[in-house]
Amino acid sequence: MSKFISVLESLRPISLAALSINFFFSLGGFWLLFAKYPLLPPMVPLWFSKEWGASRLGAPSWLWLIPISSLSILFLNNILAVLIKKQTVVATILVWFATIFSLISVYSLYRLISLSS
């Protein structure tokens, strides 16, 4: 537990704010999907890079990939930011990129769920 606290203390205040925002959005994505999952149809529009039709549809279980990837990016980028904390610009960019990615992910998840419901 003390290692976790020392890692948090090593983050600059701006990075700690980004970490808090990012964690909030990641948990919001999990909560949104957990709350709406029983209401989803058997197939949801998910693969927008494929041709029009049934190939764009996927099982609702694939939607869990969105908040999981958001949380993975959060942890990976923050670990990298701590490792290269001497390069403050790069570390700050990594932390805030994870926050923006999380925001976009939760918004995309919300739009996919609202399209399907």
The pTM assigned to this predicted structure is 0.77
Closest C-alpha to 64, from 98, 97, 29, 99: 29
- Give the tens place of pLDDT for each residue, 47-63: 766 778 777 788 888 88
pLDDT, average across residues 3-8: 63
Give the pLDDT band (50/70/90) at residue 7. Answer: low
Inside any domain, residue 6: no
DSSP character string of 10-74: HS-HHHHHHHHHHHHHHHHHHHHHHHHGGGS-SSEE--TTSPSSGGGEE-GGGGGHHHHHHHHHH
Inside any domain, residue 107: yes
Inside any domain, residue 7: no
Inside any domain, residue 20: yes
Range of the domain at 57: 15-116
**Residue given tokens 């701590």 in the structure block:** 82
- Give the tens place of pLDDT for each residue, 64-111: 999 999 999 988 988 888 888 788 888 888 888 999 999 999 999 998
Domain count, the chain: 1
Inside any domain, residue 1: no
Show the tokens assigned to 45. 């529009």
